């Protein structure tokens, strides 16, 4: 993990501080001071140095960094600057940003006029353009990530959507395929998608429900129309009485036929007993089939359980692979050492040119000083000429001595730059070795993932086998017994009921004649039948709506499962906070949100309404720890109002505590 630590910070004419240098401890630095003594200014200075903004994200065009005099006026013609020494991965880095006023004297006047400001930057003591400076700072640390990992209160000051995006990016995308791996019961729902999204399916289902409901709403009207078309009922009482009388006579004949059957009831009883015995054996056959189906279901469930374990193992290893790739990308994007080497090489080249130019310099005696500037006559004063020659020799000796001194200085500076370059090249080699090590880890992890995928491919989903009765030995054995019993059932004896049957036929003919007179009643019955059909259609449509309700319910449950997985992933990354990522509506639906909860005396309370200052700061540090771990980098954490916190939770980051005290000037410990 790359570590960025603040070693020294110097302010000059910055937000009321005319001149101050602060040296920071490696792990924890405490800055004490009364209100308005400049504690927060230290944090503002650091963020302005890096990004040209204060700790609240305001640029220097939106907040005043210039120092005022006793009359509240800006002190003119002074540079407002912040410089720092950082420790980046064990290497010292110097940064400097200056806001400089521009003054111009207009033609025809002698008084300079303020025309604006300019920003001047230095990166490791080398002047660079603001564009190049910003580019190098971005290569060192992303601005948004910097805000998140240096201010414990910044994350929870964001809009809930922005907070949620940060957490979801940390957790990784939860796909439909992943939920199917975890919850195979949703496979039928996903099969319904057929290339559509869940929202598309939900919309389609709602449209289908609407169309079916319209049909359902029309059925009462259609039933009412059928009722209106039914004829008036006639006086069917007499006809029905006659029908009843004839039916009684037919029943009497049936009774006589039945009485004759009683004479041979014993045979019928034997037949009935054997049929009951067959029914008992058939019930046993059904139990055998049901037991076989249950056993097959248990076997299939156990087989699929092993496959699900393999799927979960694959997902876990894929997450590890993605984390390694993300960390490798972060390391590869760090161009600090290569850029620094290029800068030093340019300085070495400049030193070589300076050495060559100095070495080529020769002393030139300027004899023109002995020529009269007015009349151009050579000086004939012997003493003056002798003095001139003596001075020339002294000047030549001094020139040569200065030249040797300059060459020695240039050579020393060049050697020092070469040593810096060697040290940086060593750091660069270590950096490249780290990249190679990550690539080796990624290769090994990729092979493990591919191996798990191969093993999973060899574990197809185990489906229940169809139970075929003829393949069950116990069932076949019972079936043979049934066949044997059927073979012993005696034939039913014949009874001579010809006369009674003939009489019954006559009565039935008469009965049919009477019933034919009930034609209008038949129309009524047909209408009632149609009404029954419409009632049946109404039931079917209601069932279709119930089926669509089931799809909507499955969609709701699927989304809920996805939400639970997102919630599990996110909250698994933190120790002292948890996040409420979804709100349940009155109708049972879930909507996205992002509320931070703090553990207070064993209970989870809302960050905004229930957390005290200490709880909020430690919650912020817990969030910073997770972000640092995921991104492979740490930076100084500025803890304002530190006096409100008895103890901070452990962190790998450098801590800078801003503590309110009675000190009228800043005290650093």
DSSP for 15-70, written as a single string: TTEEEEEEE--SSEEEEEE-TTSSHHHHHHHHHHHHHSB-TTS-BTTTS--SPB-T
List the single range of 37-46, 300-309, 397-406 with lowest mean pLDDT: 300-309
Strand partners for 119: 99
- The confidence band for 261, taking pLDDT boundaries of 50, 70 and 90, is low
Question: In the predicted model, what is the mean pLDDT of residues 136-147?
Answer: 92
Q: For residue range 584-639, list pLDDT tens digits in order.
A: 878 766 788 999 999 888 788 998 887 788 999 999 999 999 999 999 999 999 99
Most confident of 136-140, 246-250, 287-291, 522-526: 136-140
What phi-psi label fits residue 588: left (phi over 0), alpha (psi between -120 and 50 degrees) or beta? left
Strand partners for 371: 378
What integer pLDDT is reported at residue 217 of this predicted model?
92
Strand partners for 74: 68
- The confidence band for 500, taking pLDDT boundaries of 50, 70 and 90, is confident
Q: For residue range 421-439, list pLDDT tens digits in order.
A: 899 889 889 888 998 999 9
pTM for this model (two decimals): 0.53
What integer pLDDT is reported at residue 366 of this predicted model?
58
Q: For residue range 332-384, list pLDDT tens digits in order.
A: 887 788 888 899 999 999 989 999 999 998 877 655 556 666 666 667 677 77
Strand partners for 93: 86
Q: Is the pLDDT of residue 55 over 90?
A: no
Q: Which residues have C-beta within 8 Å of that of residue 414, sequence separation ≥ 6? A: 348, 351, 352, 355
The residue assigned the tokens 């964001």 is 158
C-alpha to C-alpha distance for 251 and 261, rounded to whole angstroms: 15
What is the side-by-side order of every strand in the sheet holding 667-668?
637-640, 655-660, 28-33, 667-668
Structure tokens that stand for 9 in this block: 């910070």
DSSP secondary structure, 492-550, as one string: PPP---HHHHHHHHHHHHHHHHHHHTTHHHHHHHHHHHHHHHHHHHHHHHHHHHHHHHH
Question: In the predicted model, what is the mean pLDDT of residues 577-590?
Answer: 82
What integer pLDDT is reported at residue 369 of this predicted model?
57
The residue assigned the tokens 């995006």 is 165
Question: In the predicted model, what is the mean pLDDT of residues 2-8?
Answer: 95
Question: In the predicted model, what is the mean pLDDT of residues 531-535?
Answer: 90
Question: In the predicted model, what is the mean pLDDT of residues 284-293?
Answer: 87
Q: For residue range 181-193, list pLDDT tens digits in order.
A: 888 888 878 777 7
Asked if residue 71 lies in contact with residue 99, where contact means CB atoms within 8 angstroms, the answer is no
C-alpha to C-alpha distance for 478 and 487, rounded to whole angstroms: 14
Mode of pairing for the β-strands spanning 2-14 and 633-634: parallel
- The confidence band for 412, taking pLDDT boundaries of 50, 70 and 90, is very high
Q: Which residues have C-beta within 8 Å of that of residue 588, sequence separation ≥ 6? A: 556
C-alpha to C-alpha distance for 327 and 290, rounded to whole angstroms: 56
The percentage of residues in the chain with a pLDDT greater than 70, rounded to a whole number, is: 94
């Amino acid at each position: 993990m790359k570590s960025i630590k603040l070693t020294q910070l110097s302010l000059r004419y910055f937000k009321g501080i005319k001149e101050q240098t602060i040296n920071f401890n490696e792990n924890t630095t405490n800055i004490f001071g009364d209100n308005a003594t400049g504690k927060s200014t230290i944090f503002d200075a650091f963020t302005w140095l890096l990004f040209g903004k204060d700790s609240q994200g305001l640029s220097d065009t939106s907040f005043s960094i210039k120092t005022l005099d006793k009359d509240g006026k800006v002190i003119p013609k002074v540079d407002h600057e912040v410089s720092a020494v950082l420790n980046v991965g064990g290497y010292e880095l110097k940064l400097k940003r200056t806001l400089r006023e521009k003054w111009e004297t207009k033609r025809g006047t002698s008084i300079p006029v303020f025309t604006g400001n300019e920003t001047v930057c230095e990166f490791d003591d080398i002047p660079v353009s603001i564009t190049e400076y910003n580019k190098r700072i971005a290569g060192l640390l992303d601005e948004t990530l910097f805000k998140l990992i240096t201010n414990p209160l910044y994350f929870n000051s964001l809009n809930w959507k922005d907070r949620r995006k940060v957490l979801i990016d940390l957790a990784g995308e939860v796909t439909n395929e992943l939920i199917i791996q975890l919850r195979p019961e949703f496979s039928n729902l996903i099969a319904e998608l057929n290339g559509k999204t869940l929202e598309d399916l939900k919309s389609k289902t709602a449209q289908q429900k609407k169309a079916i409901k319209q049909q359902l709403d029309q059925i009462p009207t259609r039933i009412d129309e059928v009722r209106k078309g039914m004829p008036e009922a006639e006086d069917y009482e007499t006809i029905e009485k006659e029908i009843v009388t004839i039916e009684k006579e037919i029943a009497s004949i049936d009774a006589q036929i039945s009485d004759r059957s009683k004479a041979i009831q014993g045979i019928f009883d034997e037949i009935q007993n054997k049929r009951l015995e067959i029914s008992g054996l058939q019930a046993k056959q059904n139990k055998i089939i049901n037991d076989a189906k249950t056993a097959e279901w248990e076997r299939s469930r156990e087989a699929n359980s092993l496959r699900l374990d393999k799927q979960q193992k694959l997902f876990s290893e894929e997450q590890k692979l993605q984390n390694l790739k993300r960390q490798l990308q972060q390391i590869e994007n760090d161009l600090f050492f290569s850029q620094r080497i290029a800068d030093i090489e340019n300085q070495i080249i400049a030193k070589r040119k300076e050495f060559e130019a100095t070495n080529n310099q020769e002393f030139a005696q300027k004899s023109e000083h002995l020529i009269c500037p007015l009349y151009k006559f050579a000086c004939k004063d012997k003493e003056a000429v002798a003095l001139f020659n003596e001075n020339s020799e002294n000047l030549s000796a001094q020139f040569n001595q200065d030249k040797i001194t300059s060459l020695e200085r240039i050579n020393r500076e060049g050697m020092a730059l070469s040593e810096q370059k060697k040290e940086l090249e060593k750091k660069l080699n270590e950096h490249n070795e780290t990249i190679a090590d990550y690539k080796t880890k990624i290769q090994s992890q990729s092979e493990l993932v591919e191996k798990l995928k191969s093993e999973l491919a060899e574990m197809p989903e185990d489906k229940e086998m169809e139970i075929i009765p003829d393949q069950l030995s116990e069932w076949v054995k019972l079936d043979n017994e049934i066949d044997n019993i059927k073979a012993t059932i005696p034939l039913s004896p014949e009874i001579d009921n010809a006369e009674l049957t003939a009489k019954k036929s006559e009565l039935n003919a008469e009965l049919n004649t009477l019933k034919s007179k009930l034609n209008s009643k038949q129309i009524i019955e047909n209408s009632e039948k149609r009404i029954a059909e419409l009632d049946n259609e109404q039931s079917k449509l209601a069932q279709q709506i119930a089926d669509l309700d089931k799809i909507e319910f499955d969609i709701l449950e699927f989304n809920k499962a996805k939400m639970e997985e997102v919630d599990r992933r996110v909250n698994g990354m933190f120790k002292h906070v948890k996040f409420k990522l979804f709100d349940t509506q009155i109708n049972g639906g879930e909507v996205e949100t992002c509320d931070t909860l703090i553990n207070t005396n064993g209970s989870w309370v809302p960050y905004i309404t229930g957390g005290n200052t200490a709880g909020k700061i430690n919650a912020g540090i817990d969030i910073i720890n997770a972000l640092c771990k995921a991104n492979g980098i740490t930076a100084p954490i500025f803890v304002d109002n530190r006096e409100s916190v008895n103890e901070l939770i452990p962190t790998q980051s450098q801590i800078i505590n801003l503590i309110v005290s009675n000190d009228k000037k800043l005290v650093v410990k």
